[in-house]
Amino acid sequence: MEDTIVLYPSPGRGHLFSMVELGKQILEQHPSISITIIISAMPTESISIDDPYFSTLCNTNPFITLIHLPQVSLPPNTSFSPLDFVASFFELPELNNTNLHHTLLNLSKSSNIKALIIDFFCSAAFEFVSSRHNIPIYFFFTTGANGLPMFLHLPILDKIITKSLKDLDMIIDLHGMPKIPIKRGATGYF
């Protein structure tokens, strides 16, 4: 059995592409390991292995394998307002837990799974997988340069700000990113 590391990005091309790049970096450091990327997609998006990006990826990196999970549907009452859209990024991986479980079972028949690296938005997979599989699980935090200072500063903001962001009228000034104006009554900041 070959050793493999499984990568599980959240839905969305940006997270998928970042996870693919992580897989390439792992292969550079550990060429004897194969990479399996398990892909789930939003109901509103279509990601095909026939896409030129993915066909080129698989042709130039024979140690990277792509597996698509079956499409799942969000509950019928889901709207696509900005807040609901972000919430759906956490909900979809949870809806896919059973599919992920079966995929890992099938994969473990032919591969020795050394680790599962999951996207930050796929946190629902952590408990589900860890209780059913004996696989080390690691989180991969995909973000642009502006996201890192924000997430590093959130614990400090949590101690300083005692009200909900929707009740504030202020400017959040963090090192390494533009100032964020918070207007009372606005929604969809975080």
> Which of the residues are catalytic?
15, 119
Nearest to 93 by CA among 138, 142, 127: 127
Kindly provide the residue ranges of all beta strands, DSSP E only, lying in 122-177, ordered along the sequence: 137-140, 170-172
Sign of the C-alpha dihedral, residues 93, 135, 104, 29? Answer: positive
Radius of gyration, CA atoms only, the chain = 19
Of the candidates 65, 63, 60, 13, the one whose C-alpha atom is nearest the C-alpha of residue 38 is: 65
> Is-contact 11 119, C-beta < 8 A?
no
DSSP assignment string, 170-183: EEE--TTS--EEE-
Q: Which residue type occupies 120?
A: F
